[in-house]
Amino acid sequence: MEEIASFEERLTSLNQKGEGLIASCTDQVQAKISQQVQAHQQSTRDSYTAICSTAQRVYQSLDRELQKHVNHQDTLQQSQTWLSTVQEELHLNDQGPSGLQEALKQVKNYRALQEQASTYLDLVCSVCDLSDETVRVTAAQVQQVKLKVSHWVFSINLSFF
């Protein structure tokens, strides 16, 4: 972008040098050269304007892609943070409930975890690039948590209900 911005200054400098050279010519030669120079200047300005417009569109496109990437990374990080927290929680609660009240409480908690897992799985799969290995691993881990919780809910239901 800096190179493009400095182009106009260089063009102005070149124009001034050209005017200095033309001033030393006869009137007839000045008129002929002046017309040619003006035509070239207009062509150069048109090219410069097109380059600036293209550069602006490319810059905006890159900025949008950067924002998408940042959002995807943020979504992935949130999912991984949730996953770490849930995996620790599940590891701490890997023993079955001792009574009906505790079973009801665990089922309620596990159903909430199932919903969260579904939400994070949908989010990761819809927002992030599934060709990325980290994204696939995270999605698989969220799916495993979801299945593990479903299995535990099923086991509790069989044991107490």
Q: What's the mean pLDDT when you consider all of the chain? A: 87
Mean pLDDT of 6-31: 85
pLDDT of residue 56: 94
Per-residue pLDDT of 33-44, as tens digits, reads 888 888 988 998
pLDDT of residue 94: 66
CA distance 31 to 140: 76
List Cβ neighbours of 70 (8 Å cut-off, separation of 6 or more): none
Per-residue pLDDT of 48-106, as tens digits, reads 889 989 999 999 999 999 999 999 999 999 999 999 999 888 877 667 777 888 888 88
Contact 145, 117 (CB under 8 A): yes
Tokens, residue 73: 């990374």
The per-residue b/e assignment along 102-126, b for 16 or more CB within 10 angstroms, e otherwise, is ebeebbeebeebbebbeebbebbee
CA distance 119 to 147: 14
pLDDT of residue 116: 95
Q: Which of 89, 110, 119, 91 is nearest to 156 (CA)?
A: 110
% of the chain beyond a pLDDT of 70 = 96
Contact 37, 18 (CB under 8 A): yes
* First CA to last CA distance, the chain: 69
pLDDT of residue 62: 98
